[in-house]
């Protein structure tokens, strides 16, 4: 949260942080169901036991996909 505060609380940063954390919580619960068994072994090794890696990948993808200016103007 301190890193987000240092970057500023704008719509883009809040969206990236909240979606990444939500996916992380979801994958934490889903990892108990052994959802990674359908993926190749290397994906299982990287993401199966480490939800932080999933959160990192989601945050990076969102930072590249979302526009720089997401502020709503009327």
Q: What is the pLDDT of residues 19-72, one digit of tens each?
A: 998 998 888 776 666 777 888 988 888 887 788 888 999 999 999 998 888 776
- Residue 6 included in any domain: yes
What is the value of pTM for the model shown?
0.74
Q: Are 69 and 30 in contact (CB under 8 A)?
A: no
- Residue 72 included in any domain: no
- Residue 30 included in any domain: yes
Q: How far apart are CA 67 and CA 23, in angstroms?
A: 20
Tell me which residue has tokens 């052994």.
34
Range of the structural domain that residue 12 is part of = 2-65
- Residue 70 included in any domain: no
Secondary-structure percent of the chain, ordered helix, strand, coil, rounded to 5: 70, 0, 30
Count of structural domains, the chain: 1
Nearest to 46 by CA among 31, 63, 25, 62: 31
CB atoms within 10 A of CB 54: 20
């Amino acid at each position: 949260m301190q890193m987000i505060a240092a970057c500023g609380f704008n719509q883009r940063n809040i969206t990236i942080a909240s979606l990444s954390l939500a996916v992380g919580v979801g994958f934490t619960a889903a990892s108990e169901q052994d959802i990674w068994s359908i993926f190749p072994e290397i994906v299982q090794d990287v993401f199966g036991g480490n939800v932080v890696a999933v959160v990192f990948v989601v945050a990076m993808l969102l930072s590249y996909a979302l526009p720089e200016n997401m502020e709503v103007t009327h």
